[in-house]
Amino acid sequence: MSESFLSLIYGSEEDTAKRFYPLGALPASLKENHIAPHLTWQTLLFVSTRSQIFSGASFRGRTNWYRCRHGQGLGIQKEKEDKLDSQIPCRALFIEQSHKSVVRMESVSKPIELFATDLITKEVDTTSHWVQFEAKDQVNGFLEEFLRGG
């Protein structure tokens, strides 16, 4: 089942839209052990490394913070008491997939503008969620431009 899940989160835009996002689709895909084909950027080394990291207890320590934070609410009350400023006080860069993507989540990208007054948004040509893999030259170009002050 874990290979099924990993193939879906690293799957094609079509597979993600059909088998991951709709309510109830992910559990159904996992029950039938659907394994999406590997994408062209997923080398054998990438797939084997990813599988090793996520197998058994290999990745537990690195993901337990997320389980504790969101599953048990650890630290949330302390942050409320500290009344931290939620504004990002410097330039920020957000790189997202093409507006033509069926898996693009406006609900993620738009609210960032509320917290970053100097937000630079760039769009890559790919429609995949994994822009850093599928449009690495564009992403690197945007990062270099941003870091040079552009």
pLDDT for 123-138, tens place per residue? 998 877 788 988 999 9
pLDDT band at 77; cut points 50, 70, 90: confident
pLDDT value at residue 36: 87
| Residue entry with tokens 């957000």 | 94
Q: What angle do CA 48, 53, 59 make, to 5 degrees?
A: 165
Question: What integer is the mean pLDDT of 99-126?
Answer: 81
pLDDT value at residue 52: 81
Residue 2 pLDDT greater than 80, yes or no: no
pLDDT for 18-71, tens place per residue? 888 888 988 998 899 988 888 888 999 988 888 887 776 665 655 566 666 666
Distance CA(68)–CA(28), nearest Å, equals 27
Q: Encoding tokens for residue 71?
A: 């599953």
Distance CA(134)–CA(97), nearest Å, equals 10
Residue 120 pLDDT greater than 80, yes or no: yes
Residues 6+ apart with CB under 8 A from 43: none
Backbone angles phi, psi at 114, to 5 degrees: -70, -25
